[in-house]
Structure 1
């Protein structure tokens, strides 16, 4: 069943244009030109969301908002503001609108697809699945020409779908040429995928970047189900978590850290916590896990996985601490998106001294990106800022030393260094750990208790005496209770 939208705008041309676009996107749309008609429409029908122009008259936007707040407390509302100066001059404040129940504020100029992005950020999985037009069987394959940059990639044997496919699925034929093998709403066909995998030796599937959020949403749900299932091997759980985490990080790095992106991130962090909390044999996977690509997204996932595994060894670990660290790990290198283009894919060992000085600024650049995001707590921001600080004072950007380095940040530093060694030298995890331990000078970069706990990550937890606590000179961020 299509999701219903109510568009309230005095500009009938805009209403017609918006309606045509959203109907094409499989929404059911009602348009009105004033507040009185909007209230009547809401009285007679239920809407997934209301998109209303602040300039609405007869009844005004503020009157309609008060009507909604009184009668429809859970209604999603996007307010469109025509003139940014109204906000800059304090005539309209986002804080006041949010208190009146406004979900999002969209300030012109923007194109209609921007509103679709905002709406999708507030769709639950049930909203998403119910809005897909379900078909019996599978549609015909269709060849399309689109730029390679328009697509996200997933391994064919790691793709999972609901009974009705939630978005178009492609295989790549050549540069900028793709074949759509499953259409939105098709009955999921494992047979068709197996044909390409086994007969044509296709290794990867592709979907549009603008469907990445749908992929994350469904796979977050699937990950939770798998983690809760004791019959699913730990390796499979980690792989599914890897896929959703990497696509989430890719989304954040591509579209920015928007409120709806952070909300999805919290779900990813919840799954990370549940995995390290409940999977007693996880150490077996962590000893040998090598299913990764040498990309920024894979790197961030592995840093998240090993950081949270280290934290799990401490008595002070908690759900809040693990989820805080997971969020920081996923964003720890976000500052690299502000570096010059020549730094993409450039290893630190290949940088000139001048380039390395520029590279050393990325923790501060990352902090600047997240500093004013209210939905990220300060611990996440400080870990991003300090994730290259070292316990012996040799780190950057500030050269902090000893207890001045946040414990969680030093754990991320250790995990980050470990993952770089593992990927750069193509080593198994236990071999990468040995390489760290054999470097007597390098090991001074970390609080010694962290090394002890990291070693325990690779050991059967039933054999560990868990009475070790942090030394008095260590600083613990965001949580001191033991998780239940």
Structure 2
């Protein structure tokens, strides 16, 4: 069974590909994200062996009719399904395509996973008679090390045909329960697609797993932080960061946290951030590691520079309590529209307020306050709070801003090693100006 799937939306394509791979036994899914080019959809349809189903998810700006014509030239009645948020009438040339083959279909998005599954089966299963199996999504095993209670059923995969429940919804587990799977070289556990859809599982957003931090003792919190550091380091090592640098950053983080706890205002904010163990803490810790990696490639990783950047990484979002707004990097991001005027005002002010908070603290360099003040500035000068052009930003600030952006993108993509070239290409396009360019030139060694 061969399915061709075209979708220019990276996030949706990744999710739907997993759905497709689990709907039927022994299914092969060929994907494409662009229309033209040697790896584009048109070339793949022309040169690859025939497909049983062509699934296209696209806006009207994509020349879908070209794809449809390509499938018809093969001389076989290939099922063709078009999905879009726009009406069929907006796709030039596609009028009446459903009548040309009873398996052809048009589907208006959005669509629930169960409905998606039924539509695919309707086009394929009557003529293939293959046994349908439940669709599951895999979740990295290391995610489970951080939590102690599952809010949905969790499964282990024994074969392509068999999944066995190993953690019941609502039950607790400990590190030992998970380590036994690691010892057996199991890298993923599985949850059902409907649970995956509800919980949107990623490294920084795993609400199907939980713990009660408000009941933690100081010792429990430190143990949990230790697990968190181990998990985050394991993720970032997969994309080429060296263990030596990750360990160096962790040591610096520990030293800086101990210093911060000696300052009353910082101590309360820092403990609140640690207790949440959410995106803000993950992002801060990982940014400190990437800053150290960049310094290494710039041959500038002195103890003084390391501590300044790590301190900025740990403290830069310490006054923010909503982890979701921290995922926003630009004042032009449309997600800001979902926040109140007061929340947006506080977000735009947090670099200045945090910088003022730490100014004058005896163990914090003025350069740290400057990095924090500038961490949402951009090369073009359209950032905030001061709209500074790249020529007005310090080299340390440029390092931090690049590391900040790199971590943010990787957290969105769950530190997928296969996405690193794409991330670097985006960074190069965004930061190839002034001091930013020298930072990227050094950091690009990570891809070597």
* TM-score using structure 1 length: 0.39
* TM-score using structure 2 length: 0.41
